[in-house]
Chain A
């Protein structure tokens, strides 16, 4: 199971673009990269998932280089409500697999 490494915390200001990078050097061929957001005392919420290159949805973009050993979650123009913990996960998209969330990145957005 591929381990992930991401910064413990990041600070930003409203309106800025935030990029959170996750390292996953041992990613397997059939592994996907998934990001979740969690507010205090709430369950994590799915943000985005990708396998390679770039994925974009209404809230974020996910950039994955060709070697897939890292990925970057990009949040455009953050607001105060984006203050949360962001988790990067790597694992197979089906079948038996445990899932390790790790400690995540605490993003603090200030006015």
Chain B
């Protein structure tokens, strides 16, 4: 089944404790992206990747890192999480440009205390 998977789905952590949210797609898509969603603010793009080893900042990259060492994986790294990074995170992939049809993962709900 073609899909985007994220792990973990739920995570509660403490301020400053490094964490990684994994994202994997099995559709051989070149483009991948991370979003965060907060009440009243809609979906905001954090980082995106055009291909392996090619990444760029989205609208809200501060406090996040990404890497794209393999085509299928695009992990989101929070080196020192803070409470303002408490959010619902979505990973997405697309076969072509970012404005083409994107396939979203199920989401990761992160709480930083």
Contacts and interface: CB of A to CB of B under 8 A. Distances in A.
Interface stretch (A18-26, A59-67, A76-84, A93-101): A93-101
A101 B32 CA distance: 15
Contacts of A44: 43, 90, 102, 104
Contacts, number: 80
Interface string B58-102: 110000000000000000000000000000101010001111111
Contacts of A46: 101-103
Contacts of B45: 98-101
Interface in A86-110: 87, 89-104
Looking at chain B, what size class is its interface with the partner chain? 20 to 34
20 contacts: A41-B88, A41-B107, A41-B109, A42-B104, A42-B107, A43-B104, A43-B105, A44-B90, A45-B104, A92-B97, A94-B96, A95-B97, A98-B45, A98-B56, A99-B33, A99-B45, A99-B48, A101-B35, A101-B42, A101-B43
Interface of B: 4, 33, 35, 40-45, 48, 50, 56, 58-59, 88, 90, 92, 96-107, 109
